[in-house]
Amino acid sequence: MPAAELPFSRKEYDRRLAKVRRAMEERDIDVLFVEDPSNMAWITGYDGWSFYVHQGVVVFHDADPIWWGRAQDVNGAVRTVWMADAHVAGYADHYVQSPVRHPMQDLAALLRDRGYAGKRIGLELENYYFSAKAFLVLKEELPQAELVDATALVNWQRAVKSDEEIAFMRRAGRIAEKIVDGIVERVEPGRPKNEVVAEILGDAVRGVGDAWGDYAAIVPLLPSGTDAAAPHLTWDNRPFVKGEATFFEIAGCYRRYHTPFCRTVFLGKPPQHILDAEKALAEGLEAGLEAARSGNTAGAVARALFGSLERAGIKKDSRCGYSIGISYPPDWGERTISFRTDDETVLEAGMTFHFMPGLWMDDWGLEITESILIRESGAAECFCDRPRKLFVKD
């Protein structure tokens, strides 16, 4: 039986499938194999921690998709996808991490049986979950097929969010606010970092009201002092100390939809260069939010931010934002649109981004960020409502 409690309406899934099929038609793709778990969930509703083995969704033009994966995960697919049970297929466990056989042999057999052995097959070649070995095995098993690069084909269909998706991201925003409130309350000199992270994870999972918290695609990031020059460090058991800034990069997550949110806490009296950077960053965020309007480009947002920072003597030319929505580890971005000067993608109402102008200097770092929604008119809306500042605790 199809899943009884889907996150979204069948009308919403039908809308998504129609968009994917149109994109396939535009690129003359006969059948599409999607292995990115975010895209799998977006198309079918599938939700399980099984992305460490080969799995995917096969999208046809004239039939419902097939969820394909490890046999022991079939029951999870039956319970979470909208398709009928006949559209769930599992491969035998002797394929799993075997040196003598590969799951793509089973997928190739499925495609041959359905008449696609000599067709144009779209694959997500630049993807965390699709390996070089998988491609080589498919190529060997389907020598008459044309294997074409369909990287991010589905990701781009996800860029403009539906009202149902935006509602999930608003719930994730409430969770992110709760997490940041707890951080500001609990961080103090002498408190071990791992203890604070335990509270962060607790707040994230408990959620807010009926918005329960899902696991985020990225663990909390919270480097302090000179370590804050590096943006992707996690935690240890060292205590917070006076005289250091710690930025906290977290996200609220509701039913796989992410609302990232970053704030920085300084214990003691901040030095003037950090206060100056705080002011410049807040002004740059305001400028970027004003530029983040329907009809403008992603590059315009980056240029607005960078111009404000340059006036304060701060040079930044790296990406300062990216599209967000549904996601699985190891990344909560959609891997499509970026806020950088050379991205001329036109912004549309319903697009959602993490506006992320982090500063990582030689021996210090500062993050003040917003997750935003592009509106029909006016400047972007922020999903979270907390002061856009450096939090200082004596």
Structure token pair of residue 90: 């599992």
Let me know if residue 188 belongs to a domain.
yes
Let me know if residue 16 belongs to a domain.
yes
Distance set, CA 147 to CA 136, 275, 294 (Å):
10, 54, 36
Q: Which of 118, 135, 157 is the last residue of a domain?
A: 157
Q: Which of 128, 157, 186 is the last residue of a domain?
A: 157
Q: Which of 107, 125, 157 is the last residue of a domain?
A: 157
**Residues 208, 340: one domain?**
yes
Let me know if residue 92 belongs to a domain.
yes
**Residues 108, 202: one domain?**
no
pLDDT of residue 17: 98
What CATH number does the domain containing 257 carry? Answer: 3.90.230.10
Q: Quote the domain boundaries for residue 261.
A: 163-393
pLDDT of residue 5: 83
Classify the C-alpha dihedral 192-193-196-197 as positive or negative.
Answer: negative
Is 65:59 a contact under the CB 8 Å cutoff? yes
pLDDT of residue 1: 59
Distance CA 277, CA 272 (A): 8
Q: pLDDT tens, 153-191?
A: 999 999 999 999 999 999 999 999 999 999 999 999 999
* Reported pTM: 0.96
**Residues 120, 74: one domain?**
yes
Let me know if residue 5 belongs to a domain.
no
**Residues 136, 171: one domain?**
no
Distance CA 22, CA 28 (A): 10
**Residues 344, 233: one domain?**
yes
Are β-strands 381-382 and 391-393 bridged in parallel, bridged antiparallel, or unpaired? Answer: unpaired
Enumerate residue ranges in the chain where pLDDT < 50.
none
**Residues 104, 139: one domain?**
yes
**Residues 119, 174: one domain?**
no
pLDDT of residue 11: 96
State the total domains in the chain: 2
Are β-strands 333-338 and 321-324 bridged in parallel, bridged antiparallel, or unpaired? Answer: antiparallel
**Residues 147, 295: one domain?**
no
Let me know if residue 113 belongs to a domain.
yes
**Residues 234, 359: one domain?**
yes
